[in-house]
A = this chain, B = another copy of it.
Amino acid sequence: MSAITFDILHRSRMTAARTGRVTTLHGSFETPAFMPVGTQGTVKGLLPALVRRTGSEILLGNTYHLMLRPGSELIGTLGGLHRFMGWPGPILTDSGGYQAFSMADINAVDDEGVTFRSIVDGSAVWLTPKRAMAVQHQLGADIIMALDDCPPAVDPKLFSETRKRLSGQAKRAQQRGYDHSERLDEANERTVRWLEQCKAAHNRTESQALFGIIQGGADLDRRTWSAQRICAIDLPGYAIGGVAVGEGPEDIARVVQHTAPLMPEEKPRYLMGVGYERDLVTAVQAGVDMFDCVLPTRNGRNANAFTPTGQIRLRNTAFADDPRPIDESCDCPACRPSEHGWGGAAASRAYLRHLFQSREMLGPILVSLHNIRHFQRLMLDIRCAIHDDTWSALADRWPVIRGVRRESGPDGEGAGVRLAPT
């Protein structure tokens, strides 16, 4: 018996989208689902009960961070991640591979695994498929991810030296004689071998569902190859990895629209680390069921609030005396506390700006809450659009889907952050 069941509830006639429900031992969640990210055992700034209030039904936990601090063994001893972080519902953990490749100072990646320096204490950490499983067994999430080899999506030689997000791996690649095609093939093949090793090491199939990850970069033939090989390994679900790692929305759409149809119809499809509203709708229409992204919380901490017409930067002086909530149409605890049985007035943009100017925690807290609710409201509307095939009505309600430019940096200082009309 599998640790999860996936029931498809409704299929869109016009697109490949579907609504469904995934049931785990810790409860179920509706799909298409958006998972907020709880990197270090907490969705930053939010009590679990408040996360639940955003309509979130499943969280993502980061194995990389938790294995380094406080350690997965400790979390296991204390009863697992659900208990540790006080979240009784479904949890998905990634394998730690993505962060090991993108954040860490990598010493070596070979067929055995990846060695990196801990960001906590600098010690050497060796992550192998077997260890990725052991760590995720200790964490005890309902859905766990296979260790994959994550190559750069785009040939790093195409980037300038000064590109901020260029990973250490890519930088070193530039210095050596790097062949991007070779690297993609190597990663593709290694990811299949590692998945086999993960599956062999995964002996808790009745309580934890292992998902495999499709790689292949921006190259559609390599995506095909990876999808065929990964999905040939029988598992309760599959993911598309290596997307939204710096490429534009058109590239994301191209890869997802190509890859999703290659994945088994009757199992949940998970697009990792994506993304903006438009990316989500595009992926849903291609048949994707699950998403995670740090955007709502990361941008929320930086005073960038999502609205149906685009993001607004709450530090802007234009909001200094603005009595309106972030979004009049929103029912989150910041925009409409009465919806939650709370007596106080809505948080005005003026108040939120004051909180950020004063470096008060409540600013990040309120805007993170709002932003997560923004994405959950979008998912609710997406599920309605799937049911009724009312896609243009969806885009009318969420103009941002039709094309807001995106920010260029994590602090929202890019040109792409559009201010809502005031």
Residues of chain A at the chain B interface (Cβ within 8 Å): 40-42, 44-50, 52, 69-70, 74, 77-79, 82-89, 320-321, 323, 333, 337, 340, 342-348, 350-351, 353-355, 357-358, 360-362, 364-366
A132 → B minimal CB distance (Å): 21
Could you tell me the distance between the alpha carbons of A170 and B393 in the complex, rounded to whole angstroms? 68
Contact of A342 among B48, B320, B362 (CB under 8 A): B48
Contact B344 A44 (CB under 8 A): no
Give chain B residues whose Cβ lies under 8 Å from the Cβ of A82.
Answer: 344-345
Contact B344 A86 (CB under 8 A): yes
Given contacts A78-B321, A351-B85, contact A360 B49 (CB under 8 A): no
Contact B362 A74 (CB under 8 A): no
CB-nearest residue of chain B relative to A84? Answer: B351
Give chain B residues whose Cβ lies under 8 Å from the Cβ of A69.
Answer: 354, 357-358
Could you tell me the distance between the alpha carbons of A88 and B344 in the complex, rounded to whole angstroms? 5
Contact of A78 among B323, B340, B362 (CB under 8 A): B323
A139 → B minimal CB distance (Å): 13
Give chain B residues whose Cβ lies under 8 Å from the Cβ of A321.
Answer: 74, 77-78
Give chain B residues whose Cβ lies under 8 Å from the Cβ of A340.
Answer: 49
Contact A345 B79 (CB under 8 A): yes
CB-nearest residue of chain B relative to A321? Answer: B74
Count the copies: 2
**Apart from A45-B365, A49-B342, A88-B345, what are 13 other A-B pairs with CB-CB below 8 Å?**
A41-B355, A41-B358, A42-B355, A45-B361, A45-B362, A47-B366, A70-B320, A74-B350, A82-B344, A84-B348, A86-B346, A88-B343, A88-B344
CB-nearest residue of chain B relative to A43? Answer: B362
Could you tell me the distance between the alpha carbons of A19 and B242 in the complex, rounded to whole angstroms? 64
Contact of A320 among B74, B89, B351 (CB under 8 A): B74
A114 → B minimal CB distance (Å): 23
Contact of A354 among B70, B77, B347 (CB under 8 A): B70
Given contacts A49-B342, A344-B88, contact A78 B358 (CB under 8 A): no
Give chain B residues whose Cβ lies under 8 Å from the Cβ of A46.
Answer: 362
Give chain B residues whose Cβ lies under 8 Å from the Cβ of A45.
Answer: 45, 361-362, 365
CB-nearest residue of chain B relative to A68? Answer: B358
Give chain B residues whose Cβ lies under 8 Å from the Cβ of A52.
Answer: 342-343
Contact B70 A357 (CB under 8 A): yes
Could you tell me the distance between the alpha carbons of A49 and B341 in the complex, rounded to whole angstroms? 9
Given contacts A74-B321, A342-B48, contact A351 B41 (CB under 8 A): yes
A291 → B minimal CB distance (Å): 23
Contact of A87 among B50, B344, B353 (CB under 8 A): B344
Give chain B residues whose Cβ lies under 8 Å from the Cβ of A354.
Answer: 40-41, 69-70
Contact A47 B50 (CB under 8 A): yes
A340 → B minimal CB distance (Å): 7
Could you tell me the distance between the alpha carbons of A365 and B306 in the complex, rounded to whole angstroms? 24
Could you tell me the distance between the alpha carbons of A360 and B42 in the complex, rounded to whole angstroms? 8
